Chains A and B, each alone.
Chain A
């Protein structure tokens, strides 16, 4: 079993839809949780990060962490064609060890 599991997609949604992206993990030592967005042929860029269980909102994006279930989510409201990208979840423990999920490819159709 991989440390971090993520549905690879591809996921296709119409413009304006609410998108839900998810990751599960097995290592309870993970303390920080991040979501990266990666456009084709570019490096990943940080979208959001969170430390504790609960929700964190930033514009159209909401990150949710449930440490008891070892489950994290990213919600995108009012999705736009410009949101089409691969979304990577990432986690880190206090040992500075970053672990990434394989990524979910999202297409938002106009």
Chain B
């Protein structure tokens, strides 16, 4: 998994509680991404980061926030979890196309989150 770890790997939580998922990389890649994957929708981008403290919203960012205080760590927080946020969450990393880096993304193993 290209030096990407996610924690926790599985989590069950109750509606209304805050949840934080962690992504850690050892590749020193500039870009980091959080996706959710749901049947029929494929991978949908939640937030991404293009450097330390530089983040931007993706397609499905409502109800989620992110932080990146170090190159290697990207945190995803569900501020008040809802059942609609039950999903598999994937972190990914990539380098910059414009800097001549690789354009492929490398994915972590995923976190299965269930909100009851």
- On whether the beta carbons of B42 and A102 are closer than 8 Å, the reply is yes
A66 within 8 A of B: no
Once bound together, how far apart are the Cα atoms of A92 and B98, in whole Å? 12
The digit string for A79-103, where 1 denotes a CB below 8 A from any CB of B, is 0000000001010101011101111
- On whether the beta carbons of B42 and A49 are closer than 8 Å, the reply is no
- On whether the beta carbons of B107 and A43 are closer than 8 Å, the reply is yes
- On whether the beta carbons of B41 and A46 are closer than 8 Å, the reply is no
Question: Closest residue of chain A to B50, judged by CB?
Answer: A96
- Interface residues, chain B, CB within 8 Å of chain A? 1, 31, 33, 35, 40-45, 48, 50, 90, 92, 94, 96-98, 103-110
Most-contacted residue by chain B among A32, A43, A46, A102 (CB, 10 A): A43
Once bound together, how far apart are the Cα atoms of A43 and B1, in whole Å? 8
- On whether the beta carbons of B50 and A46 are closer than 8 Å, the reply is no
A contact residues, range: 20 to 34
Once bound together, how far apart are the Cα atoms of A100 and B42, in whole Å? 7
Once bound together, how far apart are the Cα atoms of A90 and B106, in whole Å? 13
Once bound together, how far apart are the Cα atoms of A97 and B90, in whole Å? 16
With a CB–CB cut-off of 8 A, which chain A residues contact B92? 43
- On whether the beta carbons of B43 and A32 are closer than 8 Å, the reply is no
- On whether the beta carbons of A32 and B107 are closer than 8 Å, the reply is no
Once bound together, how far apart are the Cα atoms of A64 and B45, in whole Å? 25
- On whether the beta carbons of B103 and A92 are closer than 8 Å, the reply is yes
- On whether the beta carbons of B96 and A102 are closer than 8 Å, the reply is no
Q: Which of B48, B98, B103, B107 contacts A44 (CB 8 A)?
A: B107
Question: Closest residue of chain A to B1, judged by CB?
Answer: A43
Once bound together, how far apart are the Cα atoms of A8 and B42, in whole Å? 10
Most-contacted residue by chain A among B40, B44, B96, B107 (CB, 10 A): B107
- On whether the beta carbons of A46 and B43 are closer than 8 Å, the reply is no
Once bound together, how far apart are the Cα atoms of A102 and B42, in whole Å? 4
Q: Which of A42, A43, A92 contacts B97 (CB 8 A)?
A: A92
